[in-house]
Amino acid sequence: MAIATFTASGAKATKAAVLDQSVFGIEAKNHALLKEAYIAHQANARENLAVVKTRGLVSGGGRKPWKQKGTGRARFGSSRNPIWRGGGIVFGPTGEENYSKRINVKAKRQAIRQALTVSAASNKVAVIESVSFAGGKTSEAAKLLTAIGATRTTLIIVDSKTPELIRATRNIQKVKLVTATYLNVVDILNANHVVVSKDALTAISKWLGETK
C-alpha cells in the first residue's frame, strides 16, 4: 500500500513509501480486540485519587447525641452515623481500588496492528523522510506540520527521541511525540494525523511485521 510521503522540508516526495501489509493491512471481522486494548490502556493509566471518610475517620461524634431511652426519638450512638448530615460515607472509594486490566503481549500487538490499519484506511497516515529540527525550534515543527496538512490532533512517530525533537514539539497543542516501539492503541486512534518517519516505519515493521 503506497502512502502520502513528504520530504524533511514538507514537500511532496517523488517516490511514495510503501506500508507493510502485515502491519497496516490487517483484516479483522470486528474490533472487539481493539476495544479491549483501548479500555485496558485507559484503565491502567487511571489515577486512583477518590477517597472518602468512613464513620471511623470523620472527626467528632465521640459523645452520644442523647440518652438511649425516654426521649421518644430513635436511639443513636454517634452523630457521625452515615445517615446523619456530616456523617461517614458507606461503601465509598478508599483509594485502594485496583482498576487495572490485563491483556497479553500478543493481543496487545495485534490491537496496535489493527489500529494502524484503521488509520491507514482512513488516510490518516503520512510518511516523512526524516524528522529533525535544528536547535529544537517550535516554529520549525509547526511549519512542517502545516506544510504536510497535519493541522489537527497529530501523533508523530520517530525511531528515537532527541532533546531537539522533544523541545520542538512539546509546546505545540495536540501534538504528541512517541518512539516506534512505544506505540499504543489510544494514541493512534485519538490522532487525526499519524506522521511516521521512514526510520520509524522500518522499526515498526521489524517490531510488528509478519516475522513476529
Report the alpha-carbon distance of residue 209 to residue 191 in Å, rounded. 22
User: What's the confidence (pLDDT) of residue 133?
Assistant: 84
| Whether pLDDT at 179 is above 50 | yes
User: What's the confidence (pLDDT) of residue 122?
Assistant: 92
Quick one: 60 and 124 in the same domain? Answer: no
Quick one: 53 and 64 in the same domain? Answer: yes
Quick one: 128 and 193 in the same domain? Answer: yes
Count of the separate structural domains present in the chain = 2
**What are the two backbone dihedrals, phi and then psi, of residue 128, each rounded to the nearest 5 degrees?**
-120, 140
Please say whether the beta carbons of 9 and 90 come within 8 A. Answer: no
| Other beta carbons less than 10 A from residue 161's beta carbon | 14
Apex CA 197: angle with CA 195 and CA 201, to 5°? 100
Quick one: 113 and 26 in the same domain? Answer: yes
User: What's the confidence (pLDDT) of residue 3?
Assistant: 85
- Which residue is it, cell 507493510? 20
* pTM of the predicted model as reported, rounded to 2 decimal places: 0.84
Report the alpha-carbon distance of residue 165 to residue 154 in Å, rounded. 14
Quick one: 87 and 131 in the same domain? Answer: no
- State whether the Cα torsion 123-125-129-130 is positive or negative: positive
Alpha-carbon 115 to chain mean position: 13
Apex CA 48: angle with CA 45 and CA 54, to 5°? 165
What tens digit of pLDDT does each residue of 80-92 get? 999 999 999 999 9
DSSP codes joined into one string, 3-34: E-EE-TTSPBPSS-EE--HHHH----S-SHHH
What tens digit of pLDDT does each residue of 139-173 get? 999 999 999 999 899 999 999 999 999 999 999 99
Find the domain containing 135 and state its range: 2-46+102-208
User: What's the confidence (pLDDT) of residue 212?
Assistant: 43
Quick one: 92 and 106 in the same domain? Answer: no
Quick one: 73 and 174 in the same domain? Answer: no
What tens digit of pLDDT does each residue of 93-141 get? 999 999 999 999 999 999 999 999 999 999 999 999 989 887 889 999 9
User: What's the confidence (pLDDT) of residue 16?
Assistant: 87
Contacts of 166 (CB under 8 A, 6+ apart): 136, 177
Q: Which three cell numbers stand for residue 13?
A: 516526495
Quick one: 109 and 193 in the same domain? Answer: yes
* C-alpha separations of 182 from 4, 92, 159, 200 in Å: 23, 36, 10, 11
Percent of the chain with pLDDT over 90: 83
- Helix then strand count (H, E) for the chain reads 7, 7
